Amino acid sequence: MANFETVEVSTDLLIVGGGFGTCGAATEAAYWAKKNGLKVAMVDKAALDRSGAVAMGLSAINQYVGVRDGENTVEDYVRYVRQDLMGISREDLVYNIARHVDSTVHLFEKWGLKIWTDEEGKYVHEGRWQLMINGESYKIIIAEAAKNALADAGGEIYERVFITDPLVENNRIVGAVGFSTREEKFYVFKAKAVIAGMGGAVHVFRPRSVGEGLGRSWYPPFNSGSSAYFTLKAGAEMTCQEVRFIPVRFKDGYGPVGAWFLLFKSRAISAEGGEYMAVRKDELQNWAPYGLAKPIPANLRNYLGMLDMDAGLGPLYMETNEAIGKLADQYKDDPKAFKKKMKELEAEAWEDFLDMTISQAILWASQNVKPEEKHSEIAACEPYFIGSHSGASGAWVSGPEDLDTPYKWGYANMTTIDGLFAVGDASGASSHKFSSGSHAEGRIAGKSAIKYIVEKGAEPAVDTGKVEELKAKILAPLDLWAAHCNETTDPEVNTNYILPRQFMFRLQKIMDEYAGGVTSAFKTSKSLLERAMELFVFLKEDAEKLAARDLYELERCWENIQRMWQGEAHVRTILFREETRWPGYYFRADTPKMDEENWHCFANCKWDPATGEWEMMKRDVWNIPGV
Ligand code: SFD
Ligand code: AMP
């Protein structure tokens, strides 16, 4: 077996992931841990300053309720999420996040984040819930606060350690294992409670960007489904695994559209000039009541554009020149003021990309795009798993203690595994938390996990035999490579192993062609999904034969195994839900309508670590009374 040193770390609370959710968790947990003399350790596969979805920065804070200014109420936010997710959301979780998110945003500002303000000192809104920021260094600022809090409480941070599996005994989490991505070290973390927050998943589906563009996607290529894998492998109940997210973005550079639609009030049109949101308005009747209320859910906005594409009316365009023109128009009688306004709008348009999706700015520059002169192509991206945005996949977690919610079996944000908490993309059915809400949810879970440790924490009884088995399994791809690498001249072709890149292509082909990816125009059916399940049997056999040439490829092997588990949970859940509820995310051609009578419910699933069997189940949707 590959000769890796085993490093053991004992802690009270282990925080897995270094993103927005877990930085929130670290900031809060450190405070309560210090008060109670407890230890906190945090582990990230990358470097905290630039890890996760916000690595490149962001140009907006997408969740701010604005309670102090009387702008909205927490209940308004609950209604917004209910509407956007076609009726399916955990309102207790959404409510809990919404009532804490403003204070999180105020902390961000205190820590140094520049939120745009107007002449009166009020926040500049992009839309009703969104605030404009100078966000290139957003992640660094939030990471710094987490680091400071941990340092103050004597906590530890492990960077460049990739976590694979949870350690669970008798339905109770006792730690996690993983390996260094830089040194030959295998890590065993022993803990009384664990907070999982390893983001969502990309490259489960075949991306639009292939060949020289491979790696470019809207969602960051370094989040590979670790959260879903970790919680599934622990035996936790999962929810909304069918609710993938497909954003519409500027094509190929994946630049954001929110600022264009909301701030610049731009229209999107087909090649024939029709504005699909207006031309296809009647289609929304078919998705009542959600199709008829405002704002129109993200998936339905996508769907109307997709109908244009299906009808051969593509490409679709964002009318950037028209939007900029209209905004500058009010200054048209004063040439100097007009010129100044045009410059300002042009700068804002470019900054929107430079703050968060630099490659879109590069693509615009390389194609000589001047947004004030000509429109730009937009397109629906490949599907992603990001429960914190407009998708909903994640673990099924316990609701807040002070609400009369039917979903309560433990401490706030605890999964169905004792002591295992989930935040951000790792926790499901609480969409539209975005960066700020994920951080707020992390703070909730951080406090709750320390409370759990104080009240129920037991010394983690780690089974060393199981850890040794896991070590052998996790390092096996290196051994397989060593045993067979000299048998062929081309390392990519060998009957005894498969390299992670080829394996990823196999997974993506199944997902894309059978589970409603880009090439199948986001359509699938029972027969296609059943065929996908047949092919998954072979894929899982192939997963046992993954080989790695070095540490870098060992990480790639495990990323792709995690993607495979996320993919399987997805396929199983789309199969289970016999209706189409989120057209624009996916369309089940054999059950093309929404079925409120039978499917106004959560579709949950669970994998049993003892038997290896999957269980699918329905759970009721609860609306907060009076909201
Ligand atoms: O508008 C392991 N999001 C936006 N939110 C906003 O508030 N404003 C925006 O402007 C946003 N835009 C946006 C957004 C996301 C993306 C991908 C783009 C644009 C391109 C959403 C937020 O970014 C998102 O909600 C939060 O980041 C979610 O937080 P969290 O904590 O669930 O995930 P993370 O931040 O990606 O962090 C994940 C961490 O886990 C680590 N990790 N560590 C150890 N072992 C493993 N195996 C691991 N696997 C992953 C990662 O390194 C990272 O630290 S807009 O355009 O939509
Ligand atoms: P995006 O850049 O698409 O991620 O959007 C950023 C934010 O604006 C998210 O909260 C979206 O839900 C919201 N948003 C984007 N486009 C629209 C739209 N046309 N109508 C309403 N909300 C939108």
Tell me the per-residue pLDDT of 145-155, one tens digit each, with 9 for 90 and over.
999 999 999 99
Q: Return d(Cα 64, Cα 352) in angstroms, integer.
A: 19
The verdict on the CB of residue 19 being under 6 Å from ligand 1 is: yes
Residue 50: count of CB within 10 angstroms of its CB = 15
Q: Return d(Cα 213, Cα 378) in angstroms, integer.
A: 17
Which tens digits make up the pLDDT trace of 184-222? 999 999 999 999 999 999 999 999 999 999 999 999 999
Region 339-366: mean pLDDT is 93
Residue 488: count of CB within 10 angstroms of its CB = 13
The H or E element spanning position 16 is: strand 13-16
Q: Whose CA is nearest to atom 10 of ligand 1?
A: 60
The verdict on the CB of residue 163 being under 6 Å from ligand 1 is: yes
Q: Is 612 exposed, middle or buried (0-12, 13-18, 19+ CB in 10 A)?
A: exposed
pLDDT reported for residue 48: 98
Q: Whose CA is nearest to atom 4 of ligand 2?
A: 258
Which tens digits make up the pLDDT trace of 559-572? 999 999 999 999 99
Question: Cα(325) to centroid of ligand 2, in Å?
Answer: 21
Question: Cα(440) to centroid of ligand 1, in Å?
Answer: 14
Nearest-atom number in ligand 1 for the CA of 436 is: 7
The H or E element spanning position 322 is: helix 320-329
Question: Cα(256) to centroid of ligand 1, in Å?
Answer: 15
The verdict on the CB of residue 295 being under 6 Å from ligand 2 is: yes
Structure tokens at 537: 């049997």
Which tens digits make up the pLDDT trace of 376-428? 999 999 999 999 999 999 999 999 999 999 999 999 999 999 999 999 999 99
Q: Is residue 595 pLDDT above 90, yes or no?
A: yes
| Closest by Cα among 67, 66, 79 to 627 | 79
Q: Return d(Cα 574, Cα 442) in angstroms, integer.
A: 29
Question: Cα(5) to centroid of ligand 2, in Å?
Answer: 47
The verdict on the CB of residue 325 being under 6 Å from ligand 2 is: no
Q: Is residue 372 pLDDT above 90, yes or no?
A: yes
Which tens digits make up the pLDDT trace of 255-284? 999 999 998 999 999 999 999 999 999 999
The count of C-alpha atoms lying within 13 angstroms of the C-alpha of 542, restricted to the half-sphere facing its C-beta, is 21
pLDDT reported for residue 1: 79
Question: Cα(294) to centroid of ligand 1, in Å?
Answer: 27
Which tens digits make up the pLDDT trace of 228-244? 999 999 999 999 999 99
Q: What secondary structure does DSSP assign to 515-572, as a single string?
A: TT-TTTTTEE-HHHHHHHHHHHHHHHHHHTTB--SSHHHHHHHHHHHHHHHHHHHHHH
Phi-psi region of 605 (alpha: psi -120 to 50; beta: other; left: phi over 0): beta
Nearest-atom number in ligand 1 for the CA of 562 is: 47
Only one residue has tokens 């890890």, namely 51
Average pLDDT, the chain: 97
Only one residue has tokens 């609710």, namely 243
Q: Whose CA is nearest to atom 56 of ligand 1?
A: 256
Q: What secondary structure does DSSP assign to 157-219, as a single string?
A: EEESEEEEEEEEETTEEEEEEEEESSSSEEEEEE-SEEEE----B-SSSPPS--GGGTT--SS
pTM over 0.85: yes
Q: Is 451 exposed, middle or buried (0-12, 13-18, 19+ CB in 10 A)?
A: middle
Question: Cα(13) to centroid of ligand 1, in Å?
Answer: 22
- 3-state SS of the chain: helix, strand, coil percent to 5? 40, 15, 40
Ligand nearest the Cα of residue 132 is: 1
Structure tokens at 76: 């308004």
Structure tokens at 499: 């390299």
Q: Whose CA is nearest to atom 32 of ligand 1?
A: 424
The verdict on the CB of residue 77 being under 6 Å from ligand 2 is: no
Nearest-atom number in ligand 2 for the CA of 432 is: 10
Q: Provide the percentage of residues in the chain whose pLDDT is more than 70.
A: 100
Residues 6+ apart with CB under 8 A from 247: 218, 257, 298, 380, 381, 384, 389, 390
Which stretches of 394-551 are assigned E, i.e. beta strand? Answer: 394-395, 420-422, 523-524
Ligand nearest the Cα of residue 125 is: 2
pLDDT reported for residue 2: 87
Q: What is the band of 544 on the pLDDT scale with cuts at 50, 70, 90?
A: very high
pLDDT reported for residue 298: 98
| Closest by Cα among 146, 145, 143, 137 to 114 | 137
Region 327-331: mean pLDDT is 92
Which tens digits make up the pLDDT trace of 601-616? 999 999 999 999 999 9
Cα four-point dihedral sign 565, 566, 567, 570: positive
Q: Is residue 524 pLDDT above 90, yes or no?
A: yes
Pocket test for ligand 2, best of 58, 59, 62, 290 (most atoms within 8 A of CB): 62
pLDDT reported for residue 136: 95
Q: Whose CA is nearest to atom 5 of ligand 2?
A: 258
Question: Cα(517) to centroid of ligand 1, in Å?
Answer: 22
Region 591-596: mean pLDDT is 98
Ligand nearest the Cα of residue 276 is: 2
Which tens digits make up the pLDDT trace of 80-122? 999 999 999 999 999 999 999 999 999 999 999 999 999 999 9
Q: What is the band of 463 on the pLDDT scale with cuts at 50, 70, 90?
A: very high
pLDDT reported for residue 39: 98
| Closest by Cα among 540, 124, 603 to 393 | 603
Q: Return d(Cα 250, Cα 165) in angstroms, integer.
A: 37
Q: Return d(Cα 194, Cα 457) in angstroms, integer.
A: 11
Ligand nearest the Cα of residue 164 is: 1
Ligand nearest the Cα of residue 295 is: 2
Give Dmax over CA atoms of the chain in angstroms. 79
Pocket test for ligand 2, best of 77, 257, 296, 431 (most atoms within 8 A of CB): 257
List the catalytic residues: 62, 126, 218, 249, 352, 389, 435
> Could you tell me if 371 and 320 are in contact, meaning their C-beta atoms sit under 8 angstroms apart?
yes
